[in-house]
């Protein structure tokens, strides 16, 4: 990841989906875009926000950043050009051209089983509904995992689930063998 200065490298402006973040310079894959900031809150704090409950960024099982600008203005895309690493750092996952909207797949951060949203990204690969990471198809989940843009708590949860699945299959195989 190149640690380039972000001064003047993007701007918050109105676009097709309302307010968004737009590149003012070219970003290459792996380039640092910005760090999400804001106070930490829990799940109850997100629900208490009412209509703005989609503003926080989930970074743990019951931990969220109540986003400040510019992070609050990033829009979802089912074909994003950026992703979150280390819970708070937004990086480019492909080349982003000047004037292009910077977008994120919200599902790579979501795992509370509570919030969904009708998607309006308009991409050919649009899933129609934004839901938790576990609902993405296996190929897309794997792609995001390989890019390392899935929140740590979700990677940990997925690892536990895979271990439980393997353990369950092992038990079943042992039981079947004993028959």
User: Is residue 169 a part of any domain in this protein?
Assistant: no
Confidence of residue 95 (pLDDT cuts 50, 70, 90): very high
User: Is residue 73 a part of any domain in this protein?
Assistant: yes
Alpha carbons 46 and 130: distance in angstroms, whole number = 17
Confidence of residue 168 (pLDDT cuts 50, 70, 90): low
User: Is residue 103 a part of any domain in this protein?
Assistant: yes
Alpha carbons 114 and 42: distance in angstroms, whole number = 13
Which tokens sit at 55?
Answer: 């503003």
Alpha carbons 62 and 43: distance in angstroms, whole number = 6
Q: What is the pTM of this model?
A: 0.85
User: Is residue 122 a part of any domain in this protein?
Assistant: yes
Residue pointed to by tokens 């480019």: 92
In this predicted model, what pLDDT tens digit does every residue of 47-70 receive, in sequence order? 999 999 989 999 999 999 999 999
Average pLDDT over residues 83-104: 98
Average pLDDT over residues 79-100: 98
- We report the CATH number of the domain holding residue 93 as 2.170.270.10
User: Is residue 42 a part of any domain in this protein?
Assistant: yes
Which tokens sit at 159?
Answer: 């690892």
Q: 61: domain range?
A: 10-151
High-pLDDT (> 90) share of the chain, %: 79
Torsions phi, psi of 131, nearest 5?
-135, 180
User: Is residue 176 a part of any domain in this protein?
Assistant: no
Q: How many domains does the chain have?
A: 1
Average pLDDT over residues 80-93: 98
User: Is residue 80 a part of any domain in this protein?
Assistant: yes
Residue 57's DSSP bridge partners are: 65
């Amino acid at each position: 990841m190149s640690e380039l200065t972000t001064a003047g490298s993007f701007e918050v402006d109105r676009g097709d989906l309302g307010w968004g973040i737009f590149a003012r310079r070219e970003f290459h894959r792996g380039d640092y875009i910005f760090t999400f900031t804001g106070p930490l809150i829990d799940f109850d704090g997100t629900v208490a926000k009412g209509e703005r409950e989609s503003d926080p960024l989930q970074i743990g099982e019951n931990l969220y950043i109540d986003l400040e600008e510019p992070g609050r203005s990033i829009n979802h895309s089912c074909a994003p050009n950026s992703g979150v690493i280390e819970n708070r750092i937004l990086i480019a996952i492909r080349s982003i051209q000047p004037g292009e909207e910077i977008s994120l797949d919200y599902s790579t951060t979501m795992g509370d089983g509570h919030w969904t949203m009708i998607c309006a990204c308009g991409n050919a690969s649009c899933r129609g509904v934004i839901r938790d990471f576990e609902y993405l198809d296996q190929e897309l989940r794997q792609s995001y995992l390989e890019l390392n843009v899935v929140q740590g708590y979700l990677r940990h949860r997925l690892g536990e689930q895979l271990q439980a699945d393997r353990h369950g299959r092992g038990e079943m195989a042992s039981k079947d063998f004993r028959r």
